[in-house]
Amino acid sequence: MNRYLYTTPPIVKNLIIINILVYLATVLIPKFNVLMGTYGQLFWVGNPNFHSYQLITYMFLHAGFAHLFFNMFALWMFGRTLEYQLGSKRFLTYYMVCGIGAALLQMLVAWLSGETYFTLVGASGAVMGVLLAFGVINPNDTLIMFPIPIPIKAKWFVVLYALLELYLGCSGREPGVAHFAHIGGMLWGFGLLYYWKKRRKIFF
């Protein structure tokens, strides 16, 4: 029996719980929603509302139920296996590095394009890092691409997803979505995995 399929390890479980609780608080408590909108989401570094801690708090805020649901579902789907493989402490480090790295790349792209009025919320960058790690460590595991029921190996799923994010980010077809944050999460995750591999902290 594969424990990855039947149990949720502590970091993944607690991340999901925290995200859900924060979302419910923003929906049910107007003052908390205003507080998070002012101080919790990530602002451009030159904005007077910017604070360094927003590089972390933005990961726990979501723009709506669908945004929250798909991020937490992907974290649950891929994070369980990954936490068991990396260990809880290393998984949490990986998750946070990907989330912060995602924000940094999005800010860099915004600065280069002159769009420094942006704000950023959501766990998508960190979750994309989790997806990347799953594909790197478990390259031949078979996934099903929703909504098209076509089985595909994890490594090719990750490559196709990364290319799609790059295309959407460069084309500007979805201006409300931080595609470069998604790419940033994957890039920082890839770099951290290979740093650990070189230091012989993980093997794949």
Query: Does 126 score more than 60 pLDDT?
Result: yes
Q: Which pLDDT value is given to residue 6? A: 67
**By the 8 A CB rule, do 95 and 130 touch?**
yes
Residues 51, 52, 124, 179: which is the catalytic one?
A: 124
Q: How many CB atoms lie within 10 A of CB 28?
A: 9
% pLDDT > 90, the chain:
70
Query: Does 2 score more than 70 pLDDT?
Result: no
**By the 8 A CB rule, do 199 and 169 touch?**
no
The CATH code of domain 7-198 reads 1.20.1540.10
E-state strands within the chain: 42-43, 119-120, 142-145, 150-153
177-186: pLDDT as tens digits: 888 999 999 9
- Span 67-75, mean pLDDT? 95
Query: Does 3 score more than 60 pLDDT?
Result: no
The mean predicted confidence, pLDDT, of the chain is 90
Residues in the chain: 204
Q: Which pLDDT value is given to residue 147? A: 64
Q: Which pLDDT value is given to residue 189? A: 96
Specify whether 88 is catalytic: no
- Span 162-175, mean pLDDT? 81
**By the 8 A CB rule, do 120 and 103 touch?**
yes
Specify whether 124 is catalytic: yes
Q: Which pLDDT value is given to residue 1? A: 39
Which distant-in-sequence residues (6+ apart) come within 8 Å of 108 by Cβ?
A: none
Q: Which pLDDT value is given to residue 159? A: 92
Instruction: Please report, as a single letter, which amino acid is at residue 5.
Output: L
Please give the model's pTM, rounded to 2 decimal places.
0.92
Q: Which residue has the higher pLDDT, 125 or 170?
A: 125
Please give the C-alpha separations between residue 142 and each of 77, 145, 159, in angstroms, as whole numbers. 13, 10, 14
